[in-house]
Homo-oligomer: A and B are copies of this chain.
Amino acid sequence: MSRSKMADVARAAGVSKMTVSRALREGSVIAPATRQRILAVVERLGYAPEEAARNLSSRRSGFVAALVPSLNNPQFAETVRALTETVEGSGLQVLIGHTNYEAAREERLVGEFLRRRPEALVVTVDGHSAATRRMLAAADVPVVEMWDWPTRPVRHVVGFSNKDAARDLTRHLIERGYRRIAFVGETESDGTRGAKRRDGYAAAIRRSGLGPPRIHNHAPPPISMLQGRDALREVLRQWPDVDAVMCVSDPCAFGVLTQAQAQGIDVPGRLAVAGFGDFEVSRCCLPALTTVVVDAAEIGRRAGLLVASLRGRGNEGAVRKQELIRIPVRVEPRGSTGG
């Protein structure tokens, strides 16, 4: 027995296919009694509409495509969760892709996702390739960039300035009296968020006349906790007099903190440590890590609301508009910088 289709339901209910279609669609005009009868038949036959046919006919996929660097990152996971739960109220499903922080992989995925005719494309700002930028600009679906504040946005933005946030964090360290501040970052430098944070650090150091920035580019992103431990060893070797280490992200900072403790270096007494992102581990560990608090869920939620508002009748007009949504972030001083 093959899977039943709309015509089978129509026959069994004694109506036309079109009436069945209407019975299954929320806001359509149909007699309540007819709908009841049809839904009963649907239930009995175990009928489920074929999305592909629906999509082809209606020219809407019901998809939103979202690209993040990694799923294995609590921040992006939280953004994706919030995005998903926000748009599913509008009957949309999120197609998630991960770039592994690789521009080439991102390029391929953008192409594949575009074939699925998503109703919107949400991407994480992280140094797109030229081809990716071209595809995004040419795409006939709304594009939302998130997690940074691009200098030249493709269309919509939901983000914050990683550079400014890192600069503020550096200033916090300086205000607390630290003077020989090192930065542990990633080797990538092509418009990635990590590079922006490094730039913010370097700008603050230079403007404060603290001499040349002490930058240790440890590895390609993402830098893990265990790599953070290695990184501190190298920083201490290169700048034995360092009194503070600022990290490109919280996992890295946790590694640095742990390595300091393993070597009997008092934090924050002899060494301050700061991270970026407000991962749970930073709030839980001893001492708690000073970090930049980013509301990852809010980014996903705002992106979702934007996407949801972009579809529907007003579509044609809405697609032309450009929304730039700034998500507030803040430095949160905690024990690791002498709080």
Within 8 A of B (CB), among A41-92: 46, 48-53, 55-56, 61, 70-74, 77-78, 80-81, 84
Residues of B within 8 A of A46 (CB): 138
When the two chains form their complex, are residues B117 and A226 in contact, meaning their CB atoms are under 8 A apart? no
Taking the nearest CB of chain B, how far is it from the CB of A22, in angstroms?
18
Among A9-17, A93-101, A122-130, A188-196, which stretch is in contact with chain B?
Answer: A93-101
Each complex incorporates copies of this chain amounting to 2
When the two chains form their complex, are residues A258 and B229 in contact, meaning their CB atoms are under 8 A apart? no
Contact with B along A202-235 (1 / 0, CB 8 A): 0000000000000000000000111011000000
Residue A254 at the chain B interface, CB threshold 8 Å: yes
When the two chains form their complex, are residues B52 and A56 in contact, meaning their CB atoms are under 8 A apart? yes
When the two chains form their complex, are residues B84 and A77 in contact, meaning their CB atoms are under 8 A apart? no
When the two chains form their complex, are residues A77 and B72 in contact, meaning their CB atoms are under 8 A apart? yes
Residues of B within 8 A of A258 (CB): 284-286
Residues of B within 8 A of A280 (CB): 224-226, 251
Among A27-35, A107-115, A153-161, A318-326, which stretch is in contact with chain B?
Answer: A107-115
Q: Is the interface of A mostly helix, strand, loop or mixed?
A: helix
Residue A255 at the chain B interface, CB threshold 8 Å: yes
Residue A116 at the chain B interface, CB threshold 8 Å: yes
When the two chains form their complex, are residues A52 and B50 in contact, meaning their CB atoms are under 8 A apart? no
When the two chains form their complex, are residues A84 and B98 in contact, meaning their CB atoms are under 8 A apart? yes
> In the bound complex, what is the Cα–Cα distance between A228 and B229 (angstroms)?
24
Residue A283 at the chain B interface, CB threshold 8 Å: yes
* A interface residues, how many (CB within 8 angstroms): 51
Residues of B within 8 A of A48 (CB): 111, 114-115
A251's closest neighbor in chain B, by CB?
Answer: B280
Residues of B within 8 A of A49 (CB): 115
Chain A residues proximal to chain B, CB less than 8 Å: 3, 46, 48-53, 55-56, 61, 70-74, 77-78, 80-81, 84, 93, 95-98, 111-112, 114-117, 138, 140, 224-226, 228-229, 251, 254-255, 258, 261-262, 280-281, 283-286
21 contacts across the A-B interface (CB closer than 8 A): A3-B140, A50-B56, A50-B115, A52-B55, A52-B56, A52-B61, A52-B117, A72-B74, A72-B77, A73-B77, A77-B77, A93-B95, A93-B112, A96-B96, A225-B284, A228-B284, A251-B280, A254-B284, A255-B284, A258-B284, A281-B281
